[in-house]
Structure 1
Amino acid sequence: MRLDILNNGYKLGTRILFSVIKAISGYPLPDAARLVFYRPDFYGTPAKKFTHKAMRGPSSWSVGDRELMAAYVSGINSCSFCVKAHSAVSARAYSDSSLVARALADVETAPIPSPLRAMLILLGKLTREHKIDASDIRSVMSSGVSAEQIEDALAVCFAFNVTNRLADAFGFFVPGNKAFDAGAKYLLKRGYQ
Structure 2
Amino acid sequence: MRLRILDSGHDTRTRVLFALIRTLSRHPVPDAAKIVAYRPDFYGTRAKEFTHEAMRGPSAWSVADRELMAAYVSRVNESAFCVGAHTATAARASGDPGRVRAVLTDLESAPVDEGLRATLRMLGILTRTGTVGVAEVRAVLDAGVPRQQIEDALAVCAGFDTTNRLADAFGFALLRPGDFDAGAKYLLRRGYR
TM surpasses 0.5: yes
SS at match of 1:19: helix
- For residue 80 of structure 1, what is the aligned residue in structure 2? 80
TM-score (norm 1): 0.99
Aligned to 1:67: 67
Task: Give the aligned partner of residue 57 of structure 1.
Answer: 57
Calculate the aligned-residue CA RMSD, in Å: 0.4
User: What's the CA shift for 1:177?
Assistant: 0.1
Deviation at 1:188, TM superposition (A): 0.4
Residues 1-193 of structure 1 correspond to what in structure 2 (within 5 A)?
1-193=1-193
Deviation at 1:94, TM superposition (A): 0.6
Unpaired runs of 5+ residues, structure 2, are none
Q: Give the percent of matched residue pairs that are identical in Structure 1 and Structure 2.
A: 58
Give the gaps of 5 or more residues in structure 1: none
Residue 136 (structure 1) shift: 1.0
1:65-101 deviations in Å (ceiling 9; x for gaps): 0000000000000000000100100001110100000
Aligned positions, number: 193
Q: Distance in 1 between matches of 2:122 and 2:28?
A: 35
Large movers: runs of 4+ above 3 Å: none
SS for the counterpart of 2:108 is coil
Alpha-carbon distance in 2 for matches of 1:13, 1:109: 49
Distance 2:177 2:96 in 1: 16
Q: CA deviation at 1:135?
A: 1.3
Q: Deviations over 1:102-127 (max 9, x none)?
A: 00000010000110000000000000
TM-score (norm 2): 0.99
Q: Could you tell me how far apart the structure 1 residues matched to 2:105 and 2:28 are?
A: 29
